[in-house]
Structure 1
Amino acid sequence: MTSTWTLKENSTGELEVTVEGEAWKKAQKKALNYAKSHMSLKGFRQGQIPDALVKKQLSSKALYDMASEEVANEALSEGIKEHNIELVARPTLDVKEADDEKAVLVFTCTVLPEVTLGEYKGLDIKKADVEVTEEDVENEVKRVQDRYADWVVREDDDAAQLGDQVVIDFVGTKDGVAFEGGSGENYPLELGSGSFIPGFEEQLVGVKKGEEKDVEVTFPENYQAAELAGQPATFHCTVHEVKYKDLPELNDELIKKLKIENVETVDAYKEKVKTDLTAQKEREAEENFTNELLGKVCDNANVEIPAAMIDAEVDRMYREFEGRMQQSG
């Protein structure tokens, strides 16, 4: 096989492959055998028709087209390897010419686009300095205390505060009619957690055990239930309990519960937290620096993305989204 490659506009090109000799004869023979196995002729069993009679039933063009399809993958593979072509979509095939001696196959290919770089040296981009503060460390330590905290029921007359947990029944209505998914019983809600729609939790600050309260909210414009998006609603809430978080004492015994290798004291844990946070912030700073640098280089570059690449990326994103939806039910 011999081939030529011609790059044209918008990252497309033509790979022309000439198939001749033994390879072309073999392809014709396979095509003939395929036709024979699918042909019916009175007086002959299927698959036993003589080659000469099969050829009389087929046009030369039909036989050459079948042979071209037979040898196309091998021809394409050889051409891609010879010219180091990087495909971004499946090529289309056209049989330019064919006879008993040879076939000329033309593959229209979409390839990776060429990029013309603009200014990329001396760009005014610097990696951010990394600093881990005592506050950062203390926040991580606080999370450990939160993990092992107990919820303690407040006295009946104690009002709920931000950070408290209220155990509530609630019924959501829109225009006076309850809507699907808007009700719950004995639901433990931590005020300030942001687990309910904006404005809901704040209105329960100050409630006490046994109280009932109507909470007026407006669903976000991007809410997942289209019939509720951007709509006002009322939640009638009944408070069963109000609890506060009782944090455990920060000591070596608490740290041992974490079962971290070679970390059994508060000081050792804080040192580990600082080391881990520093490494994390270093990675983030490096990633942000790289993204900003590449973004600037791309802004200064000139490249025309072929439609096939865009279509392929859209298809990939759709399939990923579809897969996530199926996994989540």
Structure 2
Amino acid sequence: MEIVVEHLSDLTKKLTITLPKETVGPALEKAYAKINKEVKLKGFRRGKIPQSVLENNFGAQIQAEVGEKLVQESYFDAIEKEKLEPVVHPEITEHNFPEDGTFVYVALVDIKPQFELKEYKGLEVEKPVVTVSDEEVENEIKLLQRHQAVLQTAEEGHAIAMDDVAIVDFQGFHNGKAMKEVRNENFSVDIGMHRLGKDFEEKLLGLKKGDKTLYEITFPADYPNPLLAGKTVEFKVDVKDVKVRVKPELDDEFAKDIKPELTTLEELKKDIRDRLQKTKDDALKGDLDDKIMHKLIDLNPFEVPQRLVNYEIQEMLKQTEENLKRSGLSFESAGINLEELVEKNKEVAVKRVKGDFLLKKIAEIEEIKIADEDIQRGYQRIADQYRMTLDEVKKYFKRREEILPFMNELHNEKILNFLREQAKFIEVAAATEPSAAQAEA
């Protein structure tokens, strides 16, 4: 095997690889012998078709199949011989079978960036002090009381109020045209939960069963639903019915209904406080990890392979597309411009790629590796989160394409745990946070 390496950049190498006829000839002969036994051509017995006839009829197919096989068999040997560390699959730009019996192909290889790791231990990071207020506990209690309430049909003439459920038909119009995805019949609007937006619900307050109304709402550019983001939509609404909530009393019996192992309302409040504190602590942990990664990236500038960034962008687009599909939408129906979305995600993709290289470099220096107990803890966490058995989780991760991203995630978590332990945290007052009810909304 002959290899010629051209340095297109610090991160991209062009390999022209030539395989000798002693390797290529037998591979072609084997492929022609196989197809000779399998195909039928008029005027020839199976297995007795002349080579020239096979080449005329199946030459292009055979060369494509054998070429792909030869690339697969020789590429990694070539990489190892040249001591390269590729980060993505190569781009095979050309391949051919010259008349001298050899096989030549060109591979564009993006390699691992080389950089000197600077400061990564003892990073100074601001750490908000997070606590759970009495108001947050009371809001959570009210939310539970709301969920335990019984819905009853409102009396005739009852005006829609907070905590009621309005049954409505609605149709959205944009620039005078009906939006086929923004319509529904007999839709339940839970007043106060803001699932259709605060403005939409507030326009219903005071209306009664049988009322019809027409109103406009201008949605902000960052509104979660891409169909509505940045648009002014006129809604035609027909109130079909109104239901009121009859809430249970807040007493010890209420606490038992929520959680049978509890005996008093005070115990329920403590349980809620503990749960909210854990949620805040978990969120803070993620926030600190983000701050550490931003510091690392700022302190360690280096270039990353563009094709790896492109791959990351495609993964992000795929995730966005899956989220849209769950809502019955596509990029087109949601009015999303793909070019703009790619540009918007580019910076994030670069940071993700850089972050992964930095973490792996730290793992290499500090000899941080994944152990069996780390994997078992990962399995258990997924089992607890999705209420699955450990066997069910392990069965899901049997495939290579599932286990490798999972292992990478566990490894990155272990490296971040190390960096968090090494960091210097500066405690600051936490920003005002939404109540539990607002968070759910």
TM-score, normalised relative to structure 2: 0.55
Greater shift, 128-137 or 75-84, is seen at 75-84
Match of 1:202 in 2: 202
**Aligned partners of 1:153 and 1:55: how far apart in 2?**
80
1:144 Cα offset (Å): 1.7
Match of 1:75 in 2: 74
| Maintained 8 Å contact 1:89/1:109 | yes
**Structure 2 runs not aligned, ≥5 long:** 329-441
Report the residue type matching 1:73 in the other structure: Q
SS of aligned partner of 2:108: strand
1:281 Cα offset (Å): 1.3
Structure in which a larger fraction of residues adopt strand: 1
Residues 21/288 of structure 1: CA separation in 2 closer, same or farther (3 Å cut): same
Output aligned runs, 1:1-329, within 5 Å.
8-9=8-9, 11-15=11-15, 19=19, 23-24=23-24, 26-33=26-33, 45=45, 47-49=47-49, 68-80=67-79, 83=83, 85-92=85-92, 94=95, 99=100, 106-115=106-115, 117=117, 120=120, 123-151=123-151, 159-166=159-166, 188-207=188-207, 209=208, 212=211, 214-220=213-219, 230-231=231-232, 233=234, 235=236, 237=238, 241=242, 243=244, 245-259=245-259, 262-329=261-328
1:30 Cα offset (Å): 2.5
SS of aligned partner of 2:126: coil
SS of aligned partner of 1:126: strand
**Aligned partners of 1:240 and 1:307: how far apart in 2?**
56
| Maintained 8 Å contact 2:170/2:235 | no
SS of aligned partner of 1:71: helix
**Aligned partners of 2:184 and 2:13: how far apart in 1?**
62
**Aligned partners of 1:49 and 1:56: how far apart in 2?**
10
1:325 Cα offset (Å): 4.3
| Maintained 8 Å contact 1:32/1:54 | no
1:76 Cα offset (Å): 1.3
**Structure 1 runs not aligned, ≥5 long:** none
| Maintained 8 Å contact 2:160/2:242 | no
Q: Which structure: larger Rg?
A: 1
Report the residue type matching 1:139 in the other structure: N
Residues 139/104 of structure 1: CA separation in 2 closer, same or farther (3 Å cut): same
Residues 263/98 of structure 1: CA separation in 2 closer, same or farther (3 Å cut): farther
Report the residue type matching 2:278 in the other structure: A
Structure in which a larger fraction of residues adopt helix: 2
Residues 294/234 of structure 1: CA separation in 2 closer, same or farther (3 Å cut): closer
**Aligned partners of 1:306 and 1:134: how far apart in 2?**
51
1:279 Cα offset (Å): 1.9
Greater shift, 138-147 or 250-259, is seen at 250-259
| Maintained 8 Å contact 2:216/2:233 | yes
**Aligned partners of 1:196 and 1:41: how far apart in 2?**
66
Residues 164/38 of structure 1: CA separation in 2 closer, same or farther (3 Å cut): closer
| Maintained 8 Å contact 1:116/1:302 | no
**Aligned partners of 1:56 and 1:167: how far apart in 2?**
72
1:280 Cα offset (Å): 1.6
Report the residue type matching 2:202 in the other structure: E
Post-superposition Cα deviations, 1:144-192, rounded to whole Å, max 9, x if no partner, equal 2111113456666765443344455667778999875777776553433
| C-alpha RMSD of the superposition | 4.8
